A = this chain, B = another copy of it.
Amino acid sequence: MASGVVSAGVSPLAPRDGFPDLPRIAGVELAVVEAGVRYSGRKDVMLARLAPGTAIAGVYTRSATRSSAVEDCVAKTGLPPKGGAAIIVNSGNANAFTGRHGIEAVREITEVLAARLGIRESRVFTASTGVIGEVLPHERITAKIDELIAALSPDAMREAAQAIMTTDTFPKGAGAVFETGSGPIHIAGIAKGSGMIAPDMATMLVYIFTDAKIPQPLLQEMLADLTGPTFNSITVDGDTSTSDTLILAATGQASADEITDAGSPAAGQFRAALHGVMLDLAHQVVRDGEGATKFVEIRVTGAQDDGDARKVAMATANSPLVKTALAGEDPNWGRVVMAVGKSGARADRDRLSIRFGDILVAENGWVAPDYREEEAARYMKNQELLIAIDLGLGKGKSTVWTCDLTHRYIEINADYRS
């Protein structure tokens, strides 16, 4: 516990094949370094240098108490892509709720990095994740910038994914390649979350790189649209970080033609591929939820509208009673009925139906006639579960992903900071 890291091996829900082979993204170079911000004996800072003209899109936490780094990124996102750009991220210290010190640390890091790379300060994006309320020792980071720049390489995506981890139990990456009429386009992304570091909160950081050439406004629109059904549709404990950051950087170095029309076939291809990468990363975040032993899809249909469907899905996914039942492998459909009832969505007890996987559990306001508890109990032993809820009222639908609530979650989060 000396380093503040709570760890207990790799999550049982981690991808079996380990970190994927990601496509190289032209115009992106990465480096990592051991700066000793808080952890010792591991790389804790990552730098990404992006080619001149790279368009940067970003989606950030809506928290009213967000960190200085997030506020700085928000201000810079959408500015004209003049010259090169850079992203620098440290783990171990979140630089959140640190008053004027927080702003100073962000300024210091961006000034030094911009000068060394010969780019504008407005093109440097920072993020910090780890303990909050402690002053970020930014000089430990700036002291390593020359070393970072010297180490830049087009093939360090896995190392970058590792450097931004806090209590994540595995590095998270996803990629895609697709052919357009004018050449291939590549996408590669990394993520961290929602491992938690005492005394911190879950923070999700996601960096996605592509060689596609796309104007910033269109890139931003696509990223924002796809955040809803991906990163905004996962929940581990319903808590929101002060530092959540999702950045998509498009270098424009691909041979493929520029994508300027949101309705073009190439834009559709890009959107589909980006959706896949974002969903994959989002699922990996859930698979690394603190103490998680079950990966659970909550699929709601038949609501009066999509907003109501989402209310039901989120109420179910965040219910401690549903989540503890999942941990106990208990096909406790009564708790799902409860969650639907409390969600605030329009619902009719007697039109509601509930399935666990393919098993019809409840319909017409009561347990289904053919329901056999032994069968459902057997189903609940799976590591991946589906809870399908049909409200029988309309066409609204929503799907979210979550995990179970286990003793390990309490262990990780109730332990006193060391």
Alpha-carbon distance between A131 and B242 when the two chains are bound, in angstroms = 40
Contact check, A320 vs B99: say whether CB atoms are below 8 A apart: no
Q: Give A317-350 as 1s and 0s: 1 = Cβ < 8 Å from B's Cβ atoms.
A: 0111100110111101111011111110111111
Docked Cα-Cα span, A65 to B338, in Å, equals: 7
Q: Is A158 on the interface with B (CB-CB < 8 A)?
A: no
Say whether, besides A338-B201, A338-B242, A352 and B414 are in contact (CB < 8 Å): no
What are the residues of chain B within 8 A of A345 when measuring CB–CB? 64
The complex places the Cα of A64 from the Cα of B347 at a distance, in Å, of 6
| Oligomer: number of copies | 2
- The residue in chain B whose Cβ has the minimal distance to the Cβ of A241 is B338
Minimum CB–CB distance from A307 to chain B (whole Å) comes to: 15
Q: Which of B241, B328, B343 contacts A413 (CB 8 A)?
A: B328
A332 and B417 form a contact (CB under 8 A): yes
**Cβ A338 vs Cβ B64 within 8 A:** no
**Across the interface, which residues of B come within 8 angstroms of A65, CB to CB?**
337-338, 340-341, 347, 349, 352
Contact A240-B366, Cβ < 8 Å, known A64-B347, A416-B330 = no
Q: Which residue on B lies nearest to A350, using beta carbons?
A: B99
Q: Which residue of B lies closest to A237 (CB)?
A: B320
Do residues A239 and B321 form an inter-chain contact, with CB atoms below 8 A?
Answer: yes
Known: A63-B342, A239-B335, A320-B320. 20 other contacts (CB 8 A): A62-B342, A64-B340, A64-B348, A65-B338, A96-B337, A99-B366, A131-B334, A132-B334, A132-B337, A132-B338, A201-B334, A237-B320, A239-B319, A239-B342, A320-B409, A327-B410, A330-B414, A332-B417, A377-B416, A405-B410
> Which residues of A are in contact with B by a Cβ distance under 8 Å?
61-66, 96-102, 131-133, 196, 198-202, 237-242, 318-321, 324-325, 327-330, 332-335, 337-343, 345-350, 352, 362, 364-367, 377, 405-407, 409-411, 413-417
